């Protein structure tokens, strides 16, 4: 199978996945008690039953669920994600406003994970069976096991409360590129990147250790090549196949984990906006953020598949 057909096959598989994600999300949202009108009426005691019925009729919430889903899907296909019920704002505008913060958090966590994992994994593989190897495996296991919310709270306690190096809350009314915002980004970035770093470190170490035992490494050493050249030029290149695909796949985990991290650090991204939308039963906003996150995760997995196919052509025939 050619690379072009392989990519086309993967792209076509996205359509039923997104349809399933939207359908399941729509069903789960409507299985929870209450709707946006209940939330609006709850904060305004002067709204009568007649007013409540008019609001439901206005937003189409009194229609059968299959009809509501059909209307929503038809609007989405035309690029209309609806409005936020409580304030009338366009859902697309809300997502675009919160998206840069989530992207910045994800990039920081991704870069932090790679910067820590690759050198540590290489060093652990070279020192296999020694104290450095045991320490790296312990650190990797700890990084995978520690929950994001606990690690975030500990970083706030130590870095913000005890040492006063970071503010407890993000600076208000500051653009993302402001130095204060970028400095505050360090703690949530470390929190979200720790698990990714631990996973990549383990794969890097295992892959490097396997490559170091192969015949071409013995031959390179027999030719008198410096150990640094053997490791960085020959072994590292072959070891990165697994790491590159895992790094692309972990991008999806970073996006999913940003929900918890953004709530812990009060970071103004899509994750915190999703929690607020769930609390307010904002169906359109919940659907849009979930669908957008699903698209991002699918694209990350698609990139991982493509990279794997490019680096190892045998995967195209599976």
Per residue in 200-212, pLDDT tens? 898 899 888 888 8
Mean pLDDT, all residues of the chain: 85
State the CB neighbour count (10 A cutoff) for residue 177.
Answer: 9
Q: What's the pLDDT score for residue 30?
A: 85
pLDDT for the residue 161: 92
CA–CA separation, 142 and 124 (whole Å)? 16
Cα–Cα distances (Å) from 106 to 6, 33, 93, 112, 119, in that order, read 28, 33, 20, 10, 21
Q: CA 18, CA 288: separation in Å to the nearest integer?
A: 12
Q: Regarding predicted confidence, which is higher, 70 or 3?
A: 70
Task: Note the pLDDT of residue 311.
Answer: 67
* Contact predicate 132/124, CB 8 Å: yes
pTM, two decimal places: 0.84
Taking the CA of residue 181 as centre, how many other CA atoms within 13 Å lie in the half-sphere pointing to its CB? Answer: 16
For 92-267, which CATH class? mainly alpha
So what's the pLDDT on residue 308? 72
| Interval 46-100: pLDDT, tens | 777 787 788 888 888 888 889 999 999 999 999 899 999 888 899 999 999 998 8
Burial class (CB in 10 A: 0-12, 13-18, 19+), 318: exposed
CA distance 145 to 299: 27
pLDDT of residue 313: 63
Q: Is the pLDDT of residue 285 over 90?
A: yes
């Amino acid at each position: 199978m050619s690379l072009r057909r392989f990519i086309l096959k993967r792209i076509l598989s996205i359509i039923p996945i997104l349809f399933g994600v939207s359908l399941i999300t729509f069903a789960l949202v409507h299985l929870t008690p209450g709707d946006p009108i209940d939330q609006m009426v709850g904060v305004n005691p002067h709204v009568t039953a007649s007013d409540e019925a008019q609001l439901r009729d206005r937003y189409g919430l009194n229609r059968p669920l299959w009809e509501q889903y059909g209307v929503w899907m038809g609007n989405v296909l035309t690029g209309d994600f609806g409005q936020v019920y409580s304030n009338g704002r366009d859902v697309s505008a809300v997502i675009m406003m919160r998206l840069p913060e989530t992207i910045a958090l994800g990039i920081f966590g991704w870069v932090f994970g790679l910067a820590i994992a690759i050198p540590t994994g290489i060093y652990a593989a070279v020192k296999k069976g020694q104290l450095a190897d045991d320490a790296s495996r312990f650190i990797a296991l700890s990084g995978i096991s520690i929950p994001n919310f606990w690690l975030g709270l500990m970083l706030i306690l130590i870095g913000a409360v005890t040492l006063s190096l970071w503010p407890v809350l993000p600076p208000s009314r500051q653009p993302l590129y402001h130095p204060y915002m970028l400095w505050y980004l360090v703690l949530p970035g470390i929190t979200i990147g720790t698990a990714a770093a631990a996973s990549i470190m383990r794969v890097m170490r295992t892959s490097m250790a396997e490559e170091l035992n192969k015949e071409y490494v013995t031959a390179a050493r027999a030719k008198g090549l410096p150990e640094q050249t053997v490791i960085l030029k020959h072994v590292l290149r072959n070891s990165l196949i697994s790491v590159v695909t895992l790094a692309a796949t972990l991008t999806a985990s970073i996006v999913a984990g940003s929900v918890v991290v953004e709530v812990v650090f009060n970071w103004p991204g899509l994750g915190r906006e999703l929690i607020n939308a769930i609390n307010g039963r904002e169906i359109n906003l919940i659907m849009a953020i979930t669908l957008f996150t699903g698209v991002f995760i699918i694209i990350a997995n698609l990139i991982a598949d493509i990279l794997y196919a490019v680096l190892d052509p045998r995967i195209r025939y599976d």
